[in-house]
Amino acid sequence: MSNKMWGGRFASSPDAIMEEINASIGFDRHLYAQDIAASKAHAQMLAQKGIIAKDDAERIAHGLDTILSEIAAGTFPFKRELEDIHMNVEARLAELIGPSAGRLHTARSRNDQVATDFKLWVRDAIDELDEALKGYQRALADRAFDHAATVMPGFTHLQTAQPVTFGHHLLAYVEMAARDRGRLRDARARLNESPLGSGALAGTSFPIDREMTARALGFDRPTANSLDAVSDRDFVLEALSAASIAAVHLSRFAEEIVIWTSPLVGFIKLSDKFTTGSSMMPQKRNPDAAELVRAKTGRIVGALNGLLMVMKGLPLAYQKDMQEDKEGAMDAFSALSLSVSAMTGMVRDMEPDVALMKKAAGQGYATATDLADWLVQRLGIPFREAHHLTGKIVARASESALPLHRLPLAAMQAIEPGITEDVFAVLSVDRSVKSRTSLGGTAPANVRKQAKAWLKRLEKGGM
């Protein structure tokens, strides 16, 4: 029995193992909407250019609409032996409308067909991610405004550094998400060229109108080189790269949530909505949502690395290796979308322990820099010398087991006689954060202004 897809060149059907390794319908069925949209645009163009009859194009369009409805309803008969979504759709179209279906593949190849379909799919995935990240930013900015004056310790090296506000900390992730959205939008702009009409690799002799199909599918223009068009997977790599960076940002925040919810830290609490219990230990409340966001980053970055390895040694033009571009990417975008939703939910759900955060902000001599700055501003001491003197005062406070603001004035004056009672005004954590009014600083007034600006920008659709 000859192979139905390949016609006369092949005299027998493929081996079962060949069928198993070759089939992609298990995952590329997710391209069905894009495949049907591209086929309808192609058929309409063929008719417009007189390459196929208009009544054939109308029958094709009607049949494709029927197939779209069947897939949406879950009644479409996907067949593994037909390999992929393209052949499944074409075979079903032939069952529905007869010989006219065979005219659809005029002037195109599965090579330009799959490149077009997957570009459309990635473009849609980027648009959905952009909306999800915008919602995440809005949640962060809302909570940042509410907690513009909530003092917490800021860390470097996971050691207490200087007091900051919880709102300022949350706004840092708004900025990260803005860059993530910018990278995704850049990737979208670059991918928005239509491969359709490039054929297998060399174009076609039919008088097609690639500008027409590009416009119909929302592309900015057709691709300029047929070899590149069918073998390019930069658009997937770039989108996965942006997705990987976004996932890393989410993972960093997820890690902080895991730390903050620990009873050893206790900065925030998550409700039952985003925590789980233990099958053995009844007291446990585990931040599993955050932990899973952290873990899914590996899948997303893994998809990028996997596709880089697939593409690294491929000569022009299309190679079957490229079939491996979809499954990992689809899984990665799904995992990232879920992670963004989970993080958005946790941001809205988390409740900070304001009193505990403030207490922790005052520990570890977090206002030492404020003391050094006071020595510079009030006594005119060069900063390097002020830094040295402050270090000595901190050492004296540590020896006495006292916080900096409880160290007696006389003890400070023994190290620097010029210090006056006024110094204690800068050693409180509230005064510390209020003084950080430089652009981008943690002062509550800054945070409120930035949070408002972000909410206004997001309302208008900005990043």
Strand-pairing partners, residue 134, are none
| Greatest extent of the chain over all pairs of C-alpha atoms, in Å | 101
Catalytic residue among 2, 262, 271, 278: 278
Q: How would you write 17-78 as a 3-class SS string?
A: HHHHHHCCHHHHHHHHHHHHHHHHHHHHHHHHCCCCCHHHHHHHHHHHHHHHHHHHHCCCCC
Q: Which entry of 157, 205, 279, 438 is annotated as an active-site residue? A: 157
Q: How many CA atoms lie within 13 A of 451 on its CB side?
A: 25
Q: Is 387 a catalytic residue?
A: no
Contacts of 152 (CB under 8 A, 6+ apart): 163, 164, 165, 166, 169, 267, 352, 357, 358, 360, 361
Separation of alpha carbons 130 and 295, rounded Å: 22
DSSP state of 87: H
> Do 19 and 5 form a contact (C-beta atoms < 8 A)?
no
Do the beta carbons of residue 42 and residue 34 sit within 8 Å? no
Backbone conformation region of residue 15, classed left if phi is above 0, alpha if psi is from -120 to 50, else beta: beta
Burial (CB count within 10 angstroms: exposed 0-12, middle 13-18, buried 19+), residue 312: exposed
d(CA 463, CA 461): 7
> Has 432 been annotated as catalytic?
no
Residue type, 6: W
Residues designated as active site = 157, 278
